Amino acid sequence: METTLGAVNMAVSRDKQTNLKRILEFIDEAADRGVNILVLPEACLQGYADFAFTFGSAEEIAQRRRFMEEAEPQEGPSLQQVAEACSRTGIHVQIGFIESGPSNAMLYNSAALIGPTGLLSVYRKCHNGFEFPYFAPGNRNSVVSIGPLKVASLICYDLAFPEVMRTHALLGAELSLMSTAWPVLGSQRDGDYGGTRMDLAARANAFFNQMWLVVSNHCETGAYSTDTAYYGATQIVDPTGEVVASMGTEEGMILHRADIAKEVMLSRSENFYGLSLLQDRRPDIYYEIT
C-alpha cells in the first residue's frame, strides 16, 4: 500500500489570518497532487518567537501578549477550518500552532495531527527549556494510526534527543512527522552549521530507528530582529537514512510516494546487512552506572 508524503517550506508571517489562508492553500495543493499525509512547519499558524528581545522589555512583553491573545485550544476556530479542509480533501495534515492551556497564561508549542474525521492527536514540544517565558513543556509522546500506519509527531529541538524517535519506534511507529523552525541556509551547506546539524540529526534518527522522517521548515527572511532567518531545507528521509526528497530556500512543497511499511520492513530485515537495530538493543546495560 503506497502513501504519498508531502512537506512544506512555508514563509510564515506575524499575521495569523495570512498564515491560515496560506495553510489552507497548501492543503488544497496537496490534495490536487495526491498527497495522503502533509506536514507543515512549527508554529506556522501564529508565527514563531523572536528570542532577541530582553526579558521584560516592551518588545518582549508585546510578543508574549500577542501569543496569549492569538493562542487557540485544540478545538479552536483555526484548527476547525483545517479539519474542514481535511474532511473535504480526504488528507491528513500536521500543523504547528501555539496552543492555549486551561488559562491563556499557559501556552504550549504544539503540533496537531488532523485527518478527514477530525483531530487525531496534539503533541506538545517536550524539549523547549530555551523557549521560556513563552511556552510550557509537554510531557508525553503520542503514536496514532492512519489506516494501517502508525505515525508519531515531534517538534524541532526534539530531534536533537535520540530518545524521542527511539520511543516512537518502540511504540510501533513507522513514520515520524517533524514540524520545525530551524535556522538553516537552505540548499547552501558551506559554512551552514545549523543546517548541517539538522541534516545529520534527521538522517541519523531515521537510520538508527529504521523508520521514516518528514521535516517541514519555515523559509521566511527578514521577519526577526536578529540576523536569524529560516531558509527551508524541508526534507523527507527514508528508513536507511537517505534523503529522498528535499528543497532549498524557496516556498513550496516536496512529495515522495512509497510503501511506507514495506520500506521499514526492508530496512530492518535486508538493507543494513539484514540487521534489526531495534531487536539488537541491550536496554539492560544502557543505564548501568559503574
What pLDDT is attached to residue 224? 57
Grid cell 499558524 in the structure block, residue: 45
Joined together, the cell numbers standing for residue 39 give 506536514
The Cα 98–Cα 100 span in angstroms is 7
Q: pLDDT higher for 186 or 70?
A: 70
What pLDDT is attached to residue 286? 87
CB 244 within 8 A of CB 257: no
The Cα 40–Cα 10 span in angstroms is 8
CA angle (21, 253, 7) in 5-degree steps = 95
pLDDT at 150 over 80: yes
The Cα 113–Cα 118 span in angstroms is 9
The Cα 259–Cα 149 span in angstroms is 10
What pLDDT is attached to residue 105? 75
Q: What residues contact residue 99 under an 8 Å CB cut-off, 6+ apart?
A: 71, 72, 73, 74, 107, 108, 109, 110, 122, 124
What pLDDT is attached to residue 249? 87
Max mean pLDDT among 55-59, 120-124, 180-184, 284-288 falls in 120-124
Quote the distance between the C-alpha of residue 111 and its chain's center: 7
Strand pairing of 37-39 and 252-258?
unpaired
Least confident of 101-105, 177-181, 227-231, 235-239: 227-231
The Cα 67–Cα 259 span in angstroms is 40
CB 239 within 8 A of CB 203: no
Q: What is the mean pLDDT of residues 94-107?
A: 89
Whole-number average pLDDT of the chain: 93
Q: How many CB atoms lie within 10 A of CB 1?
A: 9
What pLDDT is attached to residue 229? 72
What pLDDT is attached to residue 225? 53
Domains of the chain, each with CATH number or no CATH = 3-286 (3.60.110.10)
Joined together, the cell numbers standing for residue 16 give 495569523
Classified as helix, coil or strand, 101 is coil
The Cα 94–Cα 142 span in angstroms is 13
Q: How many CB atoms lie within 10 A of CB 21?
A: 12
Single out the residue of 50, 52, 97 nearest to residue 76, CA to CA. 97
Strand order in the sheet with 175-179: 143-146, 149-155, 175-179, 212-216, 235-237, 243-246
pLDDT tens, residue by residue, 183-229: 887 677 788 888 899 999 999 999 999 999 999 999 987 555 555 57
What pLDDT is attached to residue 100? 95
